[in-house]
């Protein structure tokens, strides 16, 4: 009888241990899913804020266009009425009537130019927003402090800390840099309507290595290394890319502290709309 009781007691204890283990595993999975849900909600809120900002910009531009269109309509009506009255009174000469007609045609051209410009700006803003979302999704597993993606001055900036790409005082890409550059290359190759400007930046500490003349030299060679890697390893079209060194002269923070100097040592990949399209739009602006 004692043996049976002991056996039943062991079975109960074993079953309790298994249940406890399953409970702990379920609790761990629930906490992990809760953390993932919270991170997803933060990302959704960020995207929602960016979308609201873009929508506000579009609404402001639409208001400006509507105001300009009203002014154009008013001037057209005024000139048309004046022309009709002067013609009825036989006061306007043929040359004067032709001059007024040309003014009306110019107003029509300017109105169309404004509409085209507004459509171009709206398209650019929409593409920038889509590009930022694609890049952030691609880089979601990288520390936010080491890489920043944002829209500034109407273009997309990707700011990458030097520790993700280079060893200290070196212009040779580290093995870890492939994790970042491969993801960026995948996005830019999917958006071939954009050009890429790569800028190297340093802090204000003079470079002490013999292979570099100064921080100008270091920043330029780092930018060239990134461009070359994107071309040779990921087939980004070289005619889309430009490499440049900014040395220490465009800091993000004060060089008086170690943290500030760390923020200033960076590589920025700037994704630009093709400038020839905008130059062509400007060239097509109607002449007064």
d(C-alpha 277, C-alpha 127), whole Å: 15
Q: What is the pLDDT of residue 129?
A: 72
Contact 110, 72 (CB under 8 A): yes
pLDDT in tens, the chain (288 residues): 666 666 666 666 566 666 667 777 777 887 887 777 777 777 777 767 777 776 787 687 777 778 777 877 887 777 677 666 656 555 556 666 667 777 766 766 666 656 655 555 555 566 667 777 878 887 776 766 789 988 888 889 999 999 999 988 899 999 989 999 999 999 999 888 889 999 999 999 999 888 899 999 999 999 999 999 999 999 999 999 999 999 999 999 999 999 999 999 999 999 988 755 544 544 555 555
Q: Please give the pLDDT value at position 279.
A: 45
Whether the Cβ atoms of residue 161 and residue 222 lie closer than 8 Å to each other:
no
Give domain 145-279's CATH number out of 3.30.1330.60, 3.40.1190.20, 3.40.50.1820, 3.40.640.10: 3.30.1330.60
pTM: 0.57
Q: Which residues pair with 197 in a beta bridge?
A: 242, 270
So where are the chain's domains? 45-131, 145-279
Q: What's the pLDDT at 254?
A: 96
Helix (H, G, I), strand (E, B) or coil at 176: coil
pLDDT at 15: 61
Q: How many residues does the chain have?
A: 288
Going by DSSP bridges, is the β-strand pair 241-245/194-201 parallel, antiparallel, or unpaired? parallel
8 A C-beta contact, residue 271 and residue 242: no
């Amino acid at each position: 009888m004692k043996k049976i009781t002991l056996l039943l007691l062991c079975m109960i204890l074993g079953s309790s241990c298994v249940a406890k283990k399953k409970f702990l595993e379920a609790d761990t999975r629930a906490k992990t899913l809760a953390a993932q849900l919270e991170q997803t909600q933060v990302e959704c809120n960020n995207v929602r804020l960016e979308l609201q900002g873009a929508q506000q910009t579009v609404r402001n531009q639409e208001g400006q266009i509507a105001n300009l269109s009203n002014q154009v309509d008013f001037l057209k009506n005024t000139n048309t009425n004046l022309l009709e009255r002067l013609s009825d009174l036989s006061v306007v000469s043929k040359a004067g009537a032709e001059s007024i007609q040309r003014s009306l045609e110019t107003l029509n051209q300017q109105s169309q130019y404004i509409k085209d410009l507004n459509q171009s700006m709206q398209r650019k803003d929409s593409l920038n927003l889509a590009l930022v979302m694609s890049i952030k999704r691609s880089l979601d597993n990288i520390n936010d402090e080491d890489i920043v993606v944002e829209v500034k001055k109407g273009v997309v900036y990707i700011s990458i800390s030097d520790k993700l790409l280079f060893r200290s005082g070196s212009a040779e890409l580290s093995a870890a840099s492939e994790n970042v550059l491969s993801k960026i290359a995948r996005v830019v190759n999917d958006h071939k309507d954009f050009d890429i400007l790569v800028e190297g930046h340093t802090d204000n500490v003079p470079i002490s290595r013999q292979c570099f003349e100064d921080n100008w030299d270091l920043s330029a060679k780092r930018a060239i290394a990134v461009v070359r890697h994107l071309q040779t390893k990921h087939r980004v079209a070289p005619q889309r890319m430009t490499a440049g060194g900014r040395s220490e002269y465009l800091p993000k923070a004060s060089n008086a502290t170690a943290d500030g100097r760390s923020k200033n040592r960076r590589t920025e990949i700037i994704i630009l709309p093709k400038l020839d399209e905008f130059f062509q739009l400007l060239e097509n602006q109607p002449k007064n």
